[in-house]
């Protein structure tokens, strides 16, 4: 655990030494809060639903941008070779980088608290609904970050890492979009392809359950389990690179 903490602290310092963490996080936060404010005053409802509705789209861009720096940039600049000379296992390297990425994601979510302050300045919002939404946001971030880290470890090109991370995020989210599900089901009703994708692959369906206030054990286990699968695949990829 000491090695994981050491790697995580090093990665956090490296992220904040480069402008990508500041620019990407600040820009994403500004866009998200702007969208929330606009929809909030139009809808006139005392909840964070507009913020959580746009959050997956923002995460699908922000987290791959962070992940490309954590692996692909290391390989491109050949600093990866430095890691393999140190007495760290592949699992420790992956977990350290994952924790650093999740720390940035947590700071991003913390930056949305002005939206909560706005709600409480206007009335008495449902605290349980707010907590459920943020728990779902944390789990969603864990999943999208872990898959983006895995894809980032497969290439030395940061642009390729970013684009594949975005594509993976979009796949996990769009597979649960109601319109896409309806179209795919309509194309092959006997296979129910859209419904099956939404049931087994979609992060959006499960995140929407948290957004609606439903904290289900099965949804939480799916997020955690799928994130662990991507982290295990990441460790496998790193071991192969080391070999």
Contacts of 60 by beta carbon, 8 Å cutoff, 6+ apart: 144, 166, 169, 170, 173
- How many other CB atoms sit within 10 Å of the CB of residue 230? 22
pLDDT value at 81 more than 70: no
Angle at 169 between CA 116 and CA 103, to 5 degrees: 50
The reported pLDDT for the residue numbered 17 is 73
* Residues in Cβ contact with 8 at an 8 Å cutoff, skipping those fewer than 6 apart: 95, 96, 97, 99, 100, 103
Average pLDDT of every residue of the chain? 86
Length of the chain: 243
Selection from 231, 226, 233, 187 nearest residue 207 by Cα: 226
Percent of the chain's residues with pLDDT above 90:
49
pLDDT of residue 56: 95
Q: What is the mean pLDDT of residues 23-45?
A: 89
Q: How far apart are CA 175 and CA 116, in angstroms?
A: 30
pLDDT at res. 228 = 97
pLDDT in tens, 136-183: 999 999 999 999 999 998 888 888 999 999 999 998 998 877 776 666
At residue 205, the pLDDT reads: 87
Mean per-residue pLDDT for 106-125?
92
Q: Looking at beta carbons, which pairs linking 30-35 to residues 24 or more positions away fall under 8 Å?
A: 31/58, 32/58, 32/112, 33/112, 33/114, 33/115
Give whole-number Cα distances, 204 to 13, 142, 168, in Å: 32, 13, 13
Q: pLDDT for 214-229, tens place per residue? A: 888 899 999 999 999 9
What's the pLDDT score for residue 183? 66
Q: Which of 43-47, 106-110, 111-115 has the lowest mean pLDDT?
A: 43-47
Q: Which pLDDT does position 192 carry in this prediction?
A: 64
Give the closest residue to 36 by CA, choosing from 49, 24, 46: 49
Residue 232 has pLDDT above 80, yes or no: yes
**Residue 213 φ/ψ region, left for φ over 0, alpha for ψ in the -120 to 50 degree band, beta for the rest:** left
**Percent of the chain residues topping a pLDDT of 70:** 86
Q: Is the pLDDT of residue 242 over 60?
A: no
**What value does the mean pLDDT take over residues 185-195?**
66
Vertex 144, ends 127 and 187: CA angle to 5°? 100
């Amino acid at each position: 655990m000491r090695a994981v903490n050491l790697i995580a602290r090093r990665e956090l310092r490296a992220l904040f030494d480069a402008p990508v963490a500041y620019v990407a996080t600040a820009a994403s936060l500004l866009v998200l809060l702007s969208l929330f404010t606009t929809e909030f005053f139009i809808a006139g409802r005392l909840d964070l639903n507009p913020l959580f509705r746009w959050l997956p789209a923002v995460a699908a861009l922000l987290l791959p941008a962070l992940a490309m720096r954590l692996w692909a940039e290391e390989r491109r600049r050949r600093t990866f070779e430095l890691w393999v000379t140190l007495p760290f296992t592949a699992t420790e390297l992956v977990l350290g980088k994952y924790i650093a990425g999740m720390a940035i994601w947590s700071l991003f979510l913390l930056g949305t608290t002005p939206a909560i302050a706005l709600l409480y300045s206007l009335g008495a919002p449902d605290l349980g609904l707010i907590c459920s939404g943020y728990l779902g946001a944390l789990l969603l971030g864990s999943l999208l970050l872990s898959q983006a880290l895995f894809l980032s470890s497969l290439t030395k090109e940061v642009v390729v890492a970013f684009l594949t991370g975005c594509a993976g995020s979009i796949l996990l989210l769009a597979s649960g979009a109601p319109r896409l599900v309806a179209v795919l089901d309509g194309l092959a009703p006997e296979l129910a392809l859209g419904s099956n994708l939404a049931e087994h692959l979609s992060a959006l369906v499960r995140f929407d359950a948290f957004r609606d206030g439903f904290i289900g054990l099965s949804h939480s286990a799916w997020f955690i389990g799928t994130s662990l699968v991507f982290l295990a695949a990441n460790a496998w990829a790193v071991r192969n690179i080391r070999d």
